[in-house]
Amino acid sequence: MDVFVKICGIANRGDLEEVAAMKPNALGFILWPGSPRNVDPDALASWLRSISTNALKVGVFVNPDLKEAARLARRIGLDVVQVHGDIKSQAVDIDGVKIWQAVHADRMKPGEAGLRGRVDAYVADTYSKEMPGGTGKTGNWEAIRALVQASSTPVLLAGGLRPVNVREAISVVRPWGVDVSSGVEERPGKKNLEQVREFIRLCRTW
C-alpha cells in the first residue's frame, strides 16, 4: 500500500533540511501566529530557496482570505494552501496552488464537506474548541474511514498519529495519505528526527 506522507509543523531551517532529506511526499509549515509552530513567511521563503526537494510544500492557514493566502503561498514558494476554519462562503478559483481543506469527519453531515469550487484533498483532523488543528489528539478513525469511502476527493488522516499507531491507523482508515506533526516532536517546533525517520519507514514498508 503506497501511502502519501506529510510531515507538518516544521519550524526551523535545520529540521527542514534533515526532514527533506528523508523524502516525505509533503512538508508542512504553520502560517498562523496562534501556533507554537508558527514560522515567519520571509524566513520560510529563504529556507525553501536553500533546499532541493520534490516534496509538496504546504502552508497551513487558519480562517484565511483564500486569495491572500494563495498570493502569499506563491511568494514564499509553496505548492499547497491548507485551510482550517469556516471559509465555506468563499469561492475557490485560485491558479497556481492546490487547496487542501481540514475537516472533522465525526462532526460532518452527509455531503457537508467541500468549499465552493476546487478542493484537491481533505485533511481529516481532530476537533478541538481550543485549537483549529495540531491538537495531537487521536480522531474517530471509523468516521474518517466512512469519509474516505464516500469521497472522490483524496483524504489525509491527521490527529494523534505517531510511529506506534500509524500502521494500525492506515489499516483501519485506508486513507490516501497521513499527516503528522506533534507525534514526531521533541517539543512544539522541534522535530525528533529519529521518530520522523521511523514514521516514514513504517508508512512505506508494507
User: Is 203 among the catalytic positions?
Assistant: no
| Residue 34 exposure: Cα atoms within 13 Å on the Cβ side | 11
Strands 121-124 and 4-7: unpaired
Q: Count the helices and strands in the chain (H runs, E runs).
A: 6, 12
Cα angle: 140, vertex 144, 148; to 5 degrees? 170
Catalytic residue among 8, 15, 179, 203: 8
Alpha helices in the chain (DSSP H): 13-21, 41-49, 66-76, 141-150, 166-173, 193-204
For residues 130 and 169, what is the distance between their CA atoms, to the nearest angstrom?
24
Catalytic residue among 93, 120, 125, 203: 125
User: Is 8 among the catalytic positions?
Assistant: yes
| Cα dihedral across residues 114, 1, 26, 182: positive or negative | positive
Annotated active-site positions, please?
8, 125
